[in-house]
């Protein structure tokens, strides 16, 4: 009898523990022209994920340059428009990041993004004359803002493609906090946010994709309540008839796809929007420029740079968090 009772107690205890166990939910959506995956653990995990998906779709409707009804399309129409506080604030931040990065990140690069058409079915190699005709349209000075009233100079246009997913990841992080998500992560097409910890209390292990073998990882980094945003030429590109590969990040100073000695840049910090802007900018800057920029702003972010000659540089803040396969494709080197 005693045995039966204790067995019953055991079963009841297991059942009640299972009942209390926080739920793990996953969701995959396609938005902002990319696949997005999310995972959340918590009693309101499902609600948190559906609110996140709704928020991402709302932001896409607001910020997409290819949706006619978006605020960005209204700005690009050439008329003076009044935008939402949210869009005005994001534009202001974009202008700040352009100034901070010496214009290597610049949302007014849109006329060149469109003309090269690397996102489209019909990309085109521009001639030097075509580039020269469009380059004068690039520069934050063409964007005039007075509170929420925005005007662009004639012929100019903006593209928030290098910052919108990062901003969306910041919003998702807020939603995870609001819903009391215990642990989870989102990957918005190369923009990762790791929330809380795994159920064993350890940080989430975030893979930095191998730019030369995108099915594999070049490194793993343990993160908790942080963003890791990667930009690289390998993500979107086209190969011209002569075999030249043109990738999707434009160097605003030349008007052509950036020719970088970096294969990828991962920026790691507590701000998704900034990480997104910086990862694009550092790719354009190249190895030496990226190192110099980090030296000036080392309090703000950590980074992993993967170079054409197979070196993986990482900053001291990642010591003890980063795992690189010994004898793997890349030689890991600490920056200081
Ligand atoms: P992804 O959005 O593919 O993750 P990025 O964040 O690096 O990659 O953003 C690149 C996108 O931003 C391009 O596809 C283009 O739409 C736009 N863009 C290209 N070059 C620049 C640049 N120098 N500054 C700002 N936006 C850019
Ligand atoms: Mg970016």
Is 248 touching ligand 1 by the criterion CB < 6 Å? Answer: yes
Ligand 1 atom at minimum distance from 232 CA: 7
**26 Cβ contact list (under 8 Å, min separation 6):** 37, 38, 39, 40, 49
Res 8: pLDDT:
45
Ligand 1 atom at minimum distance from 190 CA: 4
Is 252 touching ligand 1 by the criterion CB < 6 Å? Answer: yes
Cα–chain-centroid distance for residue 260? 19
Res 9: pLDDT:
46
Could you report the average pLDDT of every consecutive run of 10 residues in the chain (336 residues)?
A: 46 47 92 97 98 98 97 97 98 98 98 95 95 98 98 98 98 98 96 97 97 94 98 90 93 97 98 98 98 98 98 98 91 96
Res 49: pLDDT:
98
Domains of the chain: residue spans and CATH: 71-152 (1.10.3980.10)
182 Cα–ligand 1 center, Å: 32
Res 260: pLDDT:
94
Res 299: pLDDT:
98
Rounded to an integer, what distance in angstroms lies between the CA atom of residue 299 and that of residue 302?
8
Res 235: pLDDT:
83
Rounded to an integer, what distance in angstroms lies between the CA atom of residue 226 and that of residue 195?
7
Ligand 1 atom at minimum distance from 235 CA: 3
Q: In 3D, which of 214, 332, 220 has the Cα closest to residue 268? A: 220
Is 267 touching ligand 1 by the criterion CB < 6 Å? Answer: no
| Backbone torsions φ then ψ of 306, nearest 5 degrees | -110, 125
């Amino acid at each position: 009898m005693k045995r039966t009772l204790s067995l019953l107690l055991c079963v009841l205890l297991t059942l009640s523990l299972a009942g209390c166990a926080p739920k793990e939910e996953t969701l995959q959506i396609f938005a902002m022209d990319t696949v997005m995956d999310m995972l959340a653990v918590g009693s309101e995990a499902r609600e948190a994920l559906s609110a996140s998906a709704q928020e991402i779709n709302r932001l896409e409707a607001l910020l997409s340059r290819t949706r006619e009804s978006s605020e960005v399309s209204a700005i690009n129409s050439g008329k003076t428009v009044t935008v939402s506080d949210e869009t005005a604030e994001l534009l202001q931040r974009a202008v700040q990041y352009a100034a901070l990065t010496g214009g290597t990140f610049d949302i007014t690069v849109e006329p060149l993004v469109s003309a090269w058409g690397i996102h489209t079915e019909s990309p085109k190699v521009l001639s030097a004359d075509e580039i020269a005709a469009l380059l004068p349209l690039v520069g934050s000075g063409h964007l005039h803002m007075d509170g929420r009233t925005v005007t662009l100079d004639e012929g100019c246009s903006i593209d928030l493609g290098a910052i919108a997913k990062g901003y969306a990841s910041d919003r998702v992080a807020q939603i995870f906090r609001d819903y009391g998500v215990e642990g989870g992560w989102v990957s918005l097409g190369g923009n990762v946010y790791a929330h809380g910890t795994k159920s064993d209390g350890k940080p989430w292990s975030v893979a930095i994709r191998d730019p030369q073998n995108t099915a594999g990882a070049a490194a793993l980094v343990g993160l908790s309540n942080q963003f890791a945003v990667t930009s690289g030429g390998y993500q979107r590109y086209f190969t011209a008839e002569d075999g030249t590969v043109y990738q999707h990040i434009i160097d605003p100073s030349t008007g052509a796809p950036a020719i970088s000695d970096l294969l990828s840049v991962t920026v790691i910090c507590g701000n998704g929007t900034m990480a997104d802007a910086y990862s694009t900018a550092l790719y354009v800057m190249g190895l030496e420029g990226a190192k110099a920029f980090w030296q000036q702003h080392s309090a703000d972010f950590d980074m992993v740079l993967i170079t054409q000659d197979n070196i993986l540089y990482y900053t001291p803040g990642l010591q003890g968090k980063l795992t690189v396969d010994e004898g793997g494709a890349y030689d890991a080197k600490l920056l200081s």
